[in-house]
């Protein structure tokens, strides 16, 4: 389906049901952040991240668990949380990277994405999102290297 078709299906200027749900998840995350502080907030965020991973379809969950282990091992200073309902890893409250399961927006693959705080800069053009369909030793090494570079 082309972008034009997707826009037409959802109507000009409106959001898909999946997008609306993601925004509701983000609003709930903001409310959770206001409710707890310090260690309690970090624990609540980590629990939300783990709960979200546990709720995924089995194949996506297996990839998310691997990504979670790789990110938290490579950058233990990143705090697990959710971001628009996706497992994410943040520094000083700013998301550095996130994992989007395929079911989130009915995609054919999962995605490992990086946000602006990630220091992946490489000249004037560099990738900030990666399709993930399987994680073997080569992918583990690549993800680990990306996360280490992202956190500087």
Position 122 in a domain: yes
The answer to whether 36 touches 44, Cβ cutoff 8 Å, is yes
Query: What does pTM read for this prediction?
Result: 0.80
pLDDT above 70 covers what percent of the chain? 86
Q: Cα–Cα distances in Å, from 104 out to 45, 56, 116, 151?
A: 19, 9, 22, 26
Does residue 9 surpass a pLDDT of 70? no
Residue 25 within any structural domain of the chain: yes
Report CA 114 to chain centroid distance, whole Å: 8
Q: How confident is the model at residue 3 (pLDDT cuts 50, 70, 90)?
A: very low
Residue 11 pLDDT > 80:
no
pLDDT at 73: 98
The answer to whether residue 5 scores a pLDDT higher than 50 is no
* Domain presence at residue 5: no
Is residue 87 one of the residues assigned to a domain?
yes
Domain count, the chain: 1
Q: Looking at residue 132, which CATH number applies to its domain? A: 3.90.1150.200
What Å distances lie between residue 64 and 4, 50, 99, CA to CA? 31, 10, 7
Please state, in angstroms and rounded to a whole number, the distance separating the CA atoms of residues 84 and 97. 12
Domain with 22 in it: 16-150
């Amino acid at each position: 389906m082309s972008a034009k078709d997707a826009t037409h299906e959802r109507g000009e200027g409106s959001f898909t049901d999946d997008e609306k749900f993601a925004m509701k998840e983000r609003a709930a995350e903001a409310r959770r952040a206001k409710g707890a502080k310090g260690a309690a907030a970090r624990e609540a965020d980590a629990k939300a991240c783990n709960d979200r991973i546990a709720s995924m379809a089995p194949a996506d969950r297996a990839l998310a668990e691997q990504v979670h282990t790789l990110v938290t091992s490579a950058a233990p200073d990143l705090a697990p949380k959710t971001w628009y309902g996706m497992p994410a890893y943040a520094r000083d409250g700013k998301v550095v990277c996130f994992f989007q399961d395929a079911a989130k927006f009915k995609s054919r693959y999962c995605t490992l994405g990086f946000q602006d705080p990630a220091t992946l800069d490489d000249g004037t053009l560099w990738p900030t999102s990666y399709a993930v369909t399987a994680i073997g030793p080569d992918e583990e090494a690549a993800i680990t290297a990306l996360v280490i570079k992202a956190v500087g």
